[in-house]
Structure 1
Amino acid sequence: MKIVQLEYFIEVVNRNSFTKAAQALHISQPSLTATIKKMEHDLGYQLLKRSTKEMTITEKGIQFYNHAVTLVQQYHQTMERMYDLKLSQTPKIKMSTIESTAYWVSLVIQQHHQKHPDQHYQITETLNPEILAQKLVNFELHLGISNDQIRHEDVVSIPLYEEDYVLLVPEDRFTQQKSISIKGLPLIVPNKPYQVRKHIEDYFTHLEERPNIVMEVERFEAATNFVHQGMGYAVIPRVYYQSRHTQHLSAIKIRPTIKRTIYINYARHRQYGSHVQDLVAACQHYWGTI
């Protein structure tokens, strides 16, 4: 069975119509119907039930569809990687970052590119440490930045720097205070899946207090905008505040402090080229850890 046959079947299921699928695939409907019938004959079971009024998918068809989607995705990912190898003797470095590290990572990559001008990069965000670990061990990423140590036997997790969280407030608030308690203050915090939210909740659990959360957001940039609008105060990493040069907002030290460590991670058993090794070393050198 060929990949194109799987793609035809997926298109029919997604559009729930042979006619619409044939139009999208730019083939004739009889040809598409014949392809699906041949697949069913080769498999020995029915994938789709057809009538003059509707088309439905069988239980075995559903299972086949799920496997087909996975196979087609893997095929295209593999072809993309092979194409990368054809384009250059130095395949692109795939690196995952987190929002708060965007500024310094861009500086490091700029310096790295000056040393390796033929190098290409693909930068993404992966916020869940477990997903990041899986992508590293599955060779989907070369490197990944995380705000917690990844405890996985096949992942090396190297600390780069420690930073504290600060309270982002309008510059005319708390002007006489060098530090502040955030108990009871209206807080703008990240949504629950994010590690930063977990750090904040763990902080309040340790204090045996409940945070006064007035808004939950996806990104620090959104939190910053809402502080500008007077919706509350945001708890953000200090390095993010320092890199943004946020106008008309001040960062006040939180009392007692909330801290976190930023790590760079890579797969333990993967053989990395010199360009990737240089990038890891550049990140460490930027923060003075080597």
Structure 2
Amino acid sequence: MDFRQLRYFITIVQEMSYSKAAKLLHISQPSLSNAIMKLEKEVDLQLLERNTRGIELTEAGAIFYSRSQDLLRRFNNMQVEFEEMKQVGSGTISIGSIESFKFWFPKIIRTFKNDHPAIHLKIREILGEEHVIEALNQYQVHFTITNQPINHAEIISIPLYKEQFMLLVHKDDDLNEKDSITLHDLEGKEMIISTAGFQTRDDIMEAFKNEKVYPSIFYEIERLETACSLVDEGLGVTILPESYIKSVVTRNTAILEINSMFLHRTVYMAYLADRYLPASVSNLVNEIESFFKNKE
């Protein structure tokens, strides 16, 4: 048994077709069939059942498919690690981020680039716990900055900082005239909030729930900048993280504090526990941790 056979088997299962898999693998269908027959003979189990409906996994095949995917992922990840070991002082650091990341990361990277001038940075936005875990497991990023509390045995999650949520309103909104704001003051207001599946939404809705307030949600958005644009046009109010909101206020909007013990979040840095991290990545991780420790 070798990794070529595992790739063949995985591709057949994913396509549920020998002919489609053969095209993707650039081999003939008879050669692919022979390879799978040889594989089944080696493991002494039937992995695929061929019938009039097409192809189905046997019980053994389902287990073999799951284990094969994990083996192939680990092998591919090992190849990535070996390549990174060769790139001393150079290479690319891949980072997952959230929207508010852009307001503090440049302060860190300025110093880092002085010590690592040949390092390239690849930054991609990754939102949602499932996507964070997948990006780390698939080696799509070395580490990620997230507001998701990641509970995963193979992932180290380091709290970086805590911050409050604040209210963004149009300057002409009557809330802008109040000396003090609570979540109860938002009842009846047209709320702009992240769509389901975003941690920011979960944090805010949990605060409303704890204070027994029922918000009137009129707009559900994916990007925080969309919420800001709607508020700028006087179309509602929104609650945003402090690190983000202070950089997006315009002459048409106002930032207000909300008196609530529940409106806060923690931002984390997460990476795989058993992944080899090149020296440049480890240095950047340490600089990010130091940046926030020095601010305490």
* Shorter-chain TM-score above 0.5: yes
Which residue in 2 is equivalent to 1:46? 46
RMSD of equivalent CA atoms: 4.0
Q: Which residue of 2 aligns with 1:211?
A: 215
Percent of aligned pairs with the same amino acid: 30
User: For 1:55 and 1:157, how far apart are their aligned partners in 2?
Assistant: 45
- Match of residue 7 from structure 1: 7
Cα distance in 2 for residues equivalent to 1:2 and 1:223: 52
Q: Deviations over 1:230-267 (max 9, x none)?
A: 55321101221223455743322224473345455678
- The amino acid that maps onto 1:115 is D
The match for 1:176 is 177
Question: Are the aligned partners of 2:193 and 2:238 in contact in 1 as well (CA < 8 Å)?
Answer: yes
CA distance in 1, matches of 2:12, 2:142: 36
Moved more, 106-115 or 5-14: 106-115
Aligned residue in 2 for 1:157: 158
* Residue in structure 2 matching 1:200, options 175, 199, 204: 204
In structure 2, the residue matched to 1:234 is 238
**The residue matched to 1:215 in structure 2 has which SS?**
strand
Distance 1:285 1:54, change over 3 A: closer
Contact 1:142 1:266 in 2 (8 A): yes
Deviations 1:131-160 (A, max 9, x none): 969998999866543447779999573544
- 2:182 is aligned with what amino acid? S
Q: TM-score, normalised by structure 2?
A: 0.76
| CA shift in 2, pair 1:201/1:48, >3 Å | same
Change (3 A) 1:192 1:46: same
Q: Which moved more, 1:2-11 or 1:226-235?
A: 226-235
Q: Residues 166-188 of structure 1, C-alpha deviation per residue, up to 9 Å, x if partnerless?
A: 22223432353465334312222
Amino acid at match of 1:186: E
Counterpart of 1:280 in 2: which secondary structure? helix
Q: Map Cα deviations across residues 199-224 of structure 1 (whole Å, 9 max, x no partner).
A: 32332233232233333333323433
Q: Secondary structure at the match of 2:238?
A: strand
Per-residue displacement from partner, 1:32-69 (whole Å, max 9, x unpaired)? 11111111111112222335773333232222222222
State the distance in 2 between where 1:231 and 1:12 align: 51
8 A Cα contact 1:47 1:57, kept in partner: yes
1:1-290 paired onto structure 2 within 5 Å: 1-50=1-50, 54-89=54-89, 92-125=92-125, 143-147=143-147, 155=156, 157-160=158-161, 162-174=162-174, 175-177=176-178, 179-183=180-184, 184=187, 185-228=189-232, 231-244=235-248, 248-256=252-260, 258-264=263-269, 273=279, 276-277=282-283, 279-281=285-287, 284-285=290-291, 288-289=294-295
Contact persistence 1:146–1:262 (CA under 8 A): yes
Aligned residues: 289
| 1:109–1:279 contact (8 Å) kept in structure 2 | no
Is the 8 Å Cα contact of residues 50 and 56 (structure 2) preserved in structure 1?
Answer: yes
Give the direction of change, closer, same or farther, for the CA distance of 1:14–1:147 in structure 2 (3 Å limit): closer
TM-score by structure 1 length? 0.77
What is the one-letter code of the residue matched to 2:112?
A: H
Shift of 1:28: 1.3
SS in 2 for 1:46: coil
Change (3 A) 1:137 1:78: closer
Cα separation, 1, equivalents of 2:165 and 2:56: 54
What is the CA–CA distance in structure 2 between the aligned matches of 1:119 and 1:93, rounded to whole Å? 7
